[in-house]
Amino acid sequence: MDYIVQMKPSFDENERSAMNEYLCSDSWLMEFKKTREFEQMIAQYTGANYCSIMPNGTLSLSVALLACGVKKTDEVIVPDYTMVATPNAVELIGAKAVFVDIERDTLCMDFVKMQEAITDKTKAIILVSINGRYPKKIEQIVKYCRERGIYVIEDAAQSLGSFYGERHVGKYGDIASFSFSVPKIITTGQGGALITDDEALYKKILLIRDFGREKSGEDHYLVKGWNFKFTDLQAVIGIEQMKKLPERVLKKRKMGEIYYNNLQHIDGIELIETNFEEVSPWFYDVLCDKREELIEYLHSQGVGSRKFYPPLHSEPAYGVEGKYPVTEEIAQKGLWLPSWVGLEENQIMWICNLIRQFYKKH
Ligand SMILES: *Cc1c(COP(=O)(O)O)cnc(C)c1O
């Protein structure tokens, strides 16, 4: 069997012929009709009133913060377990990222610890839906912030195609951000999107991403803005990827169930409870004993995997003191199993068998 990689992008002749057709038309490459069409598709799929495509899922978070009026003296609460882009997007605009520990059941921000971290300087929180899951207290978190005038920005980079109740993940906060980097469920190489139902926030986003002007070609600047525009070259790929999203969502839920059912009773493996009726996980995450040995063993058998993110507060980039027992523990045990959407059922069964055999011997 070929080496099973932990992740890779998935595309075929649909993307190739759409790109060919686009390049054979009178195209300008920069963002225009194709980007607008891609935005429409995302707004419609997520049920948002407005969508703005962004160059990537890091800048999109910075723009969301700017649109909410976050300034240099402000603090923004972020979970200690997330992709480093979450706090970095805060620091990029000069504000301060304040780390909060997570809850072990969902790997998302802990509501009680979040309340303890709030100060008069807290202007926003970034709520990260890890692998498409929300924290247990999502409704209370949003209510708590609304009552205090604190913006809730959702980093939903891992959550396109995941739902919570009637709504798409990302529809609980004020603005949500998605990423289309290569490991995500759909990709444009690099890319991101912001969704919101708030017209005023949407208008600010549009100004910030286009030099602060209302119309291209009319050089009159209402606010300070930059160039965070997309390209139609990438939107052509994004449109084709979006057409495949519903099918991928079903596939990823099914893959999750197969992993879950087959790893459930293995001593040494702990699973994160996931509702596969609503959530289509980005990566399949497990907590495991003897992680380093398991990684080596899987690799020797032709199976790739990847360790969880480290506790961000203690990384050299931040070096913040504090108590983060949950992120510290899961960073030692967490492992992402092969998760790309083209994996076959028999490959997942094979991976689960390898894991079972490993723990029989250890
Ligand atoms: C992928 C990811 C990002 C970053 O997105 P880019 O498009 O790579 O900038 C941000 N936050 C989370 C939680 C992610 O998984």
Chain mean pLDDT for the chain: 97
HSE, side-chain direction, 13 A CA sphere, residue 125:
31
User: DSSP strand E in 80-224: where?
Assistant: 96-100, 122-128, 151-155, 163-164, 167-168, 175-179, 192-196
DSSP H or E segment with residue 123:
strand 122-128
- What integer pLDDT is reported at residue 26 of this predicted model? 87
pLDDT digits 0-9 by tens, 17-26: 999 999 999 8
Ligand 1 center from residue 270 Cα (angstroms): 25
- C-alpha 359, offset from chain centre: 31
Residue 237 has pLDDT above 90, yes or no: yes
Q: Percentage of residues in the chain with pLDDT exceeding 70?
A: 100
Quickly count: other Cβ atoms within 10 Å of residue 245's Cβ: 17
Q: Percentage of residues in the chain with pLDDT exceeding 90?
A: 97
Using DSSP's 3-state secondary structure scheme, residue 106 falls into: coil
User: Pocket of ligand 1, candidates 54, 106, 179: which has the most ligand atoms within 8 Å of its Cβ, to mutate?
Assistant: 179
| Beta bridge pairs of residue 163 | 168
Distance (Å, rounded) from C-alpha 211 to C-alpha 216? 9
Ligand 1 center from residue 157 Cα (angstroms): 5
Ligand 1 center from residue 179 Cα (angstroms): 6
Name which residue sits closest to atom 10 of ligand 1, judged by CA.
85
Phi-psi region of 259 (alpha: psi -120 to 50; beta: other; left: phi over 0): alpha
Distance (Å, rounded) from C-alpha 195 to C-alpha 27? 27
Residue 261 has pLDDT above 90, yes or no: yes
Q: Rounded to two decimals, what is the model's pTM?
A: 0.98
pLDDT digits 0-9 by tens, 184-229: 999 999 999 999 999 999 999 999 999 999 888 888 999 999 999 9
